[in-house]
Amino acid sequence: ALIVFNTRQVLDCNTAALKMLGLDGHGAARGLQVNDLSPPVQPSGRASVPLFRDYLAVVRQAGRHRFEWMLRRCDNGLDVPAEVTVSAIELDAEPAMLATIRDLTERKVYEEKIHKLAFYDALTDLPNRRLFFDRLSQALAHSERSGQYGAVIYLDLDNFKPLNDTHGHDVGDLLLIEVAERLKGCVREMDTVARFGGDEFVVMINELSLGKPQSLAEARLIAEKIRHRLAEPYRLTVK
């Protein structure tokens, strides 16, 4: 997709750009500005308009600049991740810029799948061992700074293997999924529930009290809450 623009507005674009941006025709594209084609804030946290202005300054100095940009379609408001290469050109003896745009939607979906395979358990969608230890390192660093205690609770399920052997792996998988949901319901969003494999789960509780006795009491309350929740009856139906 190609867009020709000056520092103020779009001058023209090709059919591929019209399709990507959800525009009816060339007339609808002309005169649009960066705020018309972008969300107010980019994924980096920077506001779109001043960030784009900074990128254009690089183009004026270097003649060319490539960057990732979140576009926003004009028809349905959906965001489109894109790789944008902006080059300085002349149009009718006037300075202008040419943006070559590549839709990254499929690549971002693929990257997200790879990320999930690397860091999340495929069955329960909980963080796996690798992500858990990464978060544990962050929690320890935060605890050093804040002085607050945390807690790590290891648990496995009693008699899980006999259940798996008697009723089959499908029922066993349903049980693990339900256990994951119950564990998540026992802790806060800032805490982490992870599956290490098989019937092994780990719960990391962050930001408890500053005092060790009080933190220990809080952790025990959470552990008891988990124990009671996991002991409730399960209704597992294989479809």
| First vs last C-alpha separation in the chain | 46
Round to whole Å and give the CA distance between 35 and 9: 10
- Residues with Cβ within 8 Å of 235's Cβ and at least 6 positions away in sequence, in order, are none
Helices (H), 99-168: 105-119, 129-146, 160-167
Task: Read off the tokens for 99.
Answer: 């943006």
Residue 191 designated active-site:
no
Residue 55: name the closest of 81, 36, 34, 79 by CA: 34
CB 31 within 8 A of CB 9: yes
Residue 154: name the closest of 102, 101, 99, 199 by CA: 199
Annotate 33-95 with DSSP letters as a single string.
-GGGSS-SB-TTSSBHHHHHHHHHHHHHHHSEEEEEEEEE-TTT--EEEEEEEEEEEEETTEE
- Residues with Cβ within 8 Å of 106's Cβ and at least 6 positions away in sequence, in order, are none
Catalytic residue among 79, 165, 170, 199: 199
- The residues carrying an active-site annotation are 199
